[in-house]
Amino acid sequence: MSVGKSTTDLRGLVSRAGLASRSFVLCLASAPALAASLATVDSDARYPEGPLWRQDKLFFVEYAQSNIKTWDGQHLTVYWHKDHCGANALIAFKDHLLVACYDDNSLAELDASGKEVRTIRLDSSGKRFIGPNDFAADGHGGIYFSASGVYDIKAPITGTVLHMTADGRTITEVANTIHYSNGLTVAKDQQHLLVAEMLAGRILSFPIAADGALGPRTVWARLQDLAPQTPNEDAYNGPDGVKLGPDGNYYIAQNGSGRVLVVSEDKKLVRMIEVPTPYVTNIAFGPRGADTVFVTGAFDQWKPPFPGAVYRWTR
């Protein structure tokens, strides 16, 4: 996620001219084009984020409305709302849901009926986390989540990553000094955590210890080395959501460029999924695995009402 609610109106920095008129096609870096289509799930979403396929439905948040919405293939429904939350990401936690409340600097835990049963504001050392942004399962029942800090290239670099144990009782800061930590995913080898350092325009890699702690970082890839730049890119253009796909490729939402980069394990561009929303925020996979990709994004991330849309890409 990247939000401009606490920044100066910078809409002029990133032009949407040309981006919104892109054709809904699949672009391949080095292979013949495959038939693909893009359908709109929600054309009136208010800064959508955090898509999650669960219980045969698509769940996603509306940051600007502090909502969770669901889509069953035909109908959109508001599943949950909390004033001033700034809902930003979702993840399944046992039979519950965790919601990242970016504005409220908290996590909300919802039970199977959608009722909030716990609010978490502090890690286990008593430290507050600022701007919880995205989640990743650790593969052992626990959760990693990013806390981004302030979305401002001039602000101090305070982004962190935290780890919640499988019992939900212990939350530990496992990485810090990240220039706006954002999307994250456990790598294909299950031994590294990839973290989007959005305002540095790159993906970091951290080795994972047995207890969930993280080792020293390395740079996994810079976006400028993965794909050609788009016109009018600025300092806020960077990786937002990051997911390891069922096909073994990595899906990187490039916020500011209206596209998802699909990258192989050896860091080669496999394809690009282009959408009309310039500020692509996140991705999720549907019941057909990597043949169904849900993409969330905003047309304007700097000024209310933060119009956006949710798409379903299929092939």
Question: Mean pLDDT for each 10-residue chunk of the chain (315 residues)?
Answer: 45 35 38 72 98 97 98 97 98 97 98 97 98 98 97 96 97 98 98 98 97 98 96 94 98 98 97 98 96 98 96 97
Query: What does the block give as tokens for 105?
Result: 């600097």
Q: What is the pLDDT of residue 14?
A: 34
Q: What is the pLDDT of residue 17?
A: 34
Q: What is the pLDDT of residue 4?
A: 53
SS3 236: coil
Please state the pTM of the whole predicted model.
0.90
Report the C-alpha gap between 310 and 296 in whole angstroms: 5
Q: What is the dihedral of CA 28, 29, 31, 37, to 10 degrees?
A: 0
Question: Angle at the Cα of 203 (from 12 to 294), degrees rounded to 5?
Answer: 70
Question: Of 53, 72, 39, 63, nearest to 283 (Cα)?
Answer: 53
Going by their DSSP bridges, the two strands 76-81 and 67-71 should be labelled as antiparallel
Residues paired with 77 in a beta bridge = 70
Report the C-alpha gap between 23 and 4 in whole angstroms: 27
Is-cis flag, bond preceding 132, omega within 30? no
Q: What is the pLDDT of residue 232?
A: 85
Is 236:263 a contact under the CB 8 Å cutoff?
Answer: no
Task: Give Cα 154 to chain centroid, integer Å.
Answer: 22
